[in-house]
Every structure is written in C-alpha cells, then in structure tokens.
Chain A
Amino acid sequence: MSWPDWIVLSLTLLGMIAYGLYKGRTSRDLDGYFLSNRMVPWYMVLLGIMGTQASAVTFLSAPGQAYTDGMRFIQYYFGLPLAMIVLCVSFVPVFRRLKIYTAYEYLEQRFDLRTRALTSGLFLLQRGLSTGISIAAPSIILSSLLGWNIFWANIIMGGLLIIYTVMGGAKAVAYTQQLQMMIIFGGMTVAGFMVIHRLPAGVGLSEVLHIGGKAGKLNIITTGIRPNGRSFDWNDRYNLFSGIIGGFFLALSYFGTDQSQVGRYLTARSLSESRLGLLLNGLVKVPMQFLILLLGVLVFAFYQFNREPVFFNQSQLNLLAHSKYKDSLVWLTFQYESAETSRLAAAPSIAANASTPASRSRSAERLLAAEQQKAGYKATVRRWLDDKDVGGDSNDTNYIFLRFVTDYLPIGLVGLLIAVIILAAWGSIAATLNSLSSCTIVDFHRRFSRRPMSTEKEFRLSRLYTLLWGIFCIAMAQLAYNIGNSLIEAVNVLGSMFYGVILGIFLVAFYRKKTGGQAVFISAVIVEAAVIFFTVLSRQGVVHLSFLWFNVIGAAGVVLLSEGLQFILPSHRQIH
C-alpha cells in the first residue's frame, strides 16, 4: 500500500475514534451507557441496525460471492422485511413498554429467572465466540493481501474501536455507526463507478448485465428444485424458499432476540422511531444487497477485458510455489498467461462489436468460451490447494474484491476502501461489545449480586465489562487464526446453532401465553442439544441440510416440545 493510502486510512480511523470520544459523552448510569438515554432519532436507529448487521465480511465476501456463484445470495435476505413487520407488531411494543435494558429481562417477567439466565448465557457464548471469529476473518484476508502482521491486523480490526466503545457506550456506537455507514456507502459507490469507468469504450451497464447473465451470474431467483423437477434440494443454501422461510426465522431471531440489535432500537426516542428504523431497514436492505452483489458482477465483467490472476489470494500461490506442485505451478502459470494474452488480444474487438442485441449476445458467448477455459486452470489450482500435503485454502471468494481494489483502483481510493472494510467491522463489533457488556451486568452481575450497587459503580463496571469482552474477543481472534480456513462459514454455522432455540423461547413467550417456564426451559435444553448434534452430523456429511434450516428446526422444536411438555406437566401451568 502506498503512503497516500496509509494517510487516508490512518486519518479515517483516527478521525472515527476522535468522533466517537467527542460524541460519546453521556450520563454516568446504565440508561446513558446502554440506551443513550433513549434519545436516538429514527435515522440513527436505521443506520445503527444496518451498521451492526453489515460486517467487514459483508463487503469483502458479497461481491466475491456474486463473482463466483452469481447473485442468488440475495435470496438470503428475502425473509428480513417480513421479520421486520413481525418485530414491529409483537416484539418492539413489549420491549419498549417494559423499559428493559436487555431482551432477556423480559423472559424473567414472562417465565422465570433460569430461562432468562439460560437465554442470556446462550447469547453471550455464541456472540463472544463468533465476534472473535468476525475479527479474525477479515484480518486474515487483509494480512494475506497486504502483507500485514496478523496480530496487528487483529488489533486494528477489533482493538482500536474498544477505545470509544468503552468510553462512550451506546451513544458513541450510534454516532460512529452513522458516520461509518456514510463513508461505507460513499466508498462502495465510488468503487462501483470506478469499475464502470475502467471498462472498455462501448461496454456499459447493459453489456455488463448481458455478460453476467450469459455466465450465470444473474441467477438472482432460483427455486432449489432439482433439474429433474421432482424434488427440492434441502442442501441448497440460497433459493427463494430457504431465503424467505429460513431467512425469515434467522432475521426474526437476529433482530428480535440478539441483544446487539435489540440494544440499537431500544435507544430510540419513542416506539414510533424504533418501528420506523426497523421498517425502513426492511425497505432498503434487499436493494442495498442487490447493489453490493452487482458490484461483484461488474468486477466479473471487468476481468473479461483485463488480466485476471489464476488465483486471487497470492499467499496461497506462494504456498504452492513451495510445495510438491511447484514445477506443475510454473507450467500451469505459463499456460494460463498464454491463454490470457490470446483472450485479451481479442477482447477489444468483442467490445467494439457489442452494439446490437444479437452481436452483444454473440460477443458474450465468445467471452464465455474463454471463461470456461480459465475455469479449468483455476480448478486445478484449487485441487492442489485441497491436497492434505499442501493444506491450503482453496476458497478464493473473499479475496476477489479486495484484490481488484489493490490492483486497479487509484492511489488514495485504495486506502479509503480498506478503511471501509475496517469501519464495517468496527460498527458491528462495537455494537456487539456494548451488548455483551449490558447482558453481563444486567442479566448476571446486577441480577445475582446480593448487595445493591450505586449508579456510579454500575457505570464503572459496565465500562470494565466492555473492556474485558473486547480483550476476550481479540484473544479469540488470535486463536481463530490457528483454526485456519472457513472462518466465515463458522460464524454462520455457530449462529444457526443457537439462534433458532433462542427464537423459539421468545416465540413461546409472545404467542403461547399458557406455556410456563418449566416447559420452555426443558424444551430449550433438549432442542439445543439436538441442534448441536445435528450440526455435527451435518458437518460430517451424515445429514444433508443447509445451516439456514437449523434456525427453523430450533425455533419450531422449542415451540412444539414446550407445548407437549406443558400438556404433560399440568401442575406447572402458568397463565400470565
């Protein structure tokens, strides 16, 4: 990275810390530290919700996902708007009315203390572990592409934000997320325009869509029904049905029961502003993801006219260069580069002839014939990396966008785009640290403390817990680095192991008024054990089920089992 990029990056990050410290001055009590005294306007709630959900990986991975697998990933978000509606009808009015700090406080009022402690504990376990991985995943990508030391990458990704999060609490989180989202939107928009600007003359958005469509990248809507038309592929991750049903349960669970999100909309000035923030999130999320994925298709089209590396993650090619495949790699690289040179020589004429619909279609087909040839070389590299003797990472998806940024974007913009990735991580992690701290003090320390605490002591403890969780997550990130590949997938799988059960507990609380604490507690423990068991079977290939469905199974399992247990245990029937 050049020194102007370093200056842009450093100024952006330091400016964000200063802004967080300046805006984060708040009253020295739990209401100020965790809820910003409930004075946040709707547009900051909206940006906070979006900033908490969108992590660094969202901006690294999504364009790469569209590049390799097409835009069907967008279906993952189809359940989200529907979940926003259910939240506004059922969850938010109750949370607001009870004036609670954490979502789990409600469960003690509805059921009992142990159900509250179990649910809050599951959240702390899941979030504490997954946040460490969320820091490590983008750090590994940045350190691989830019040659950064992994320890310092983890500190930049997950450590610096601790300064303003500890000092300013939810208010600092809300104000920095607002600014972060503006920089992120601005940076990604500029990146999109730069890709189009760098396409050959005569190739515009229409031609890009034709090229992407011919290559199968515009597979936005898929049904998951197998080609024989007779059965549904339950292992297919992203299709209309898994997106609407699985995505609905995942979004309902994430936004309704995950304190990192609940803590954002509880800070709103009023019930109306909480609702407005959530509903606008339901309106803008799908189009926003569409544009991020479209960026991946743009980058794909760009590489039809420019030299594409045989593998985007250069560190993995270096690994192969020191393995038993080193001679084969030299030969393959020579072959690949020759094919690329021939392909690129023909590319300008293809672009020039793409003026009519028929010629556009023929041009796209010629480009794709060359694309299939490239795919063969790439598959060989992936096969070598998958060799146990090499122990490489054959998943190149997360490196595509950032490699394009570092190779082709002008000086200064590279620093800004790397800042965008880091700020996306900060927004998400800061909200999580704030929520981990609020659950620790409100659901455990204060709840189980025998002596009442002063407001000042609660405030100082809240800061301490935020700091300790920050250190814990950094330590987890350092450990996660040793786990190796598939960290992003690990975050999703880990979330799906717990989210369904937590959602099931809340669904019973809201919609099954006759079901009591004992039935729901026993059900949650049994179903959680079952979900973990099935996750292990799924990972070992015994069960073929995509992780999104575990959200449905966990939630439905708790609802149905608690209903049955309530029938068996009539003496414990409770009516609230």
Chain B
Amino acid sequence: MDQEPEGKVPLFTKWNYWYILVAAFLLLNILLFYFLTKHFS
C-alpha cells in the first residue's frame, strides 16, 4: 500500500506540539470561562 508522505509540519517540528497546543488552548479557555463565571455570578 502506498504511504502518503507526512509532509512538512507547519510552525513546529512535530505534530505532537500541535496536539499539545490544541489541548492547552482548550484548558486555557475552560479556566478563563471558570473565572468569568465566578467573577460575574
């Protein structure tokens, strides 16, 4: 079976860094929303 070349990873050297960025950004959003909820309740 032909393997599709991985291709160049944009911005980072590995896709793993992209995955960490996405997960970390979600966590940051949740924390921000938590503080918004607490502050304005």
Q: Are A and B subunits of one complex?
A: yes
Q: Place the interface of chain A in its size category.
A: 35 or more
B residues contacting the other copy or chain, number (CB 8 A): 27
Nearest opposing residue in chain B for A273, CB measure: B7
Which residues of chain B come closer than 8 Å to A216, judged between CB atoms?
41
Which residues of chain A come closer than 8 Å to B10, judged between CB atoms?
272, 276
Which residues of chain A come closer than 8 Å to B2, judged between CB atoms?
97, 99
| B41 near A282: Cβ-Cβ < 8 Å | no
Which residues of chain B come closer than 8 Å to A219, judged between CB atoms?
37, 41
Instruction: Name the interface residues of A310-327: CB closer than 8 Å to any CB of B.
Output: none
Which residues of chain B come closer than 8 Å to A81, judged between CB atoms?
22-23, 25-26
How would residues 273 to 299 of chain A score, 1 for a CB under 8 Å from any chain B CB and 0 otherwise?
101100100110011001000000000
How would residues 7 to 43 of chain A score, 1 for a CB under 8 Å from any chain B CB and 0 otherwise?
0000000000000000000000000000000000000
DSSP majority for the A interface?
Answer: helix
| B33 near A96: Cβ-Cβ < 8 Å | no
CB distance from A82 to the nearest CB of B (A): 7
| B19 near A96: Cβ-Cβ < 8 Å | no
Q: Is A406 engaged at the interface, CB distance under 8 Å to the other chain?
A: no
| B26 near A218: Cβ-Cβ < 8 Å | no
DSSP majority for the B interface?
Answer: helix
Given A78-B30, A81-B23: A210 in contact with B4 (beta carbons within 8 A)? no
Binds B, one of A49-57, A85-93, A155-163, A455-463: A85-93
Nearest opposing residue in chain B for A364, CB measure: B40
Which residues of chain A come closer than 8 Å to B26, judged between CB atoms?
78, 81-82, 282, 286
Q: Is A221 engaged at the interface, CB distance under 8 Å to the other chain?
A: yes
Given A88-B15, A220-B33: A279 in contact with B22 (beta carbons within 8 A)? yes
Given A218-B37, A220-B33, A220-B36: A84 in contact with B22 (beta carbons within 8 A)? yes
How would residues 198 to 228 of chain A score, 1 for a CB under 8 Å from any chain B CB and 0 otherwise?
0000000000011011101011110000000
Which residues of chain A come closer than 8 Å to B6, judged between CB atoms?
271-272
Return the 5 tightest CB-CB contacts between A and B, nearest first.
A213-B40, A272-B7, A220-B33, A218-B40, A81-B26
* B interface residue numbers (CB < 8 A to A): 1-10, 15, 18-19, 21-23, 25-26, 29-30, 33-34, 36-37, 39-41
Q: A218-B40, A271-B4 are in contact. List 14 more A-B contacts (CB 8 A).
A: A88-B19, A210-B40, A213-B40, A218-B36, A220-B36, A240-B30, A271-B5, A271-B6, A272-B8, A272-B10, A275-B18, A279-B19, A287-B29, A290-B29
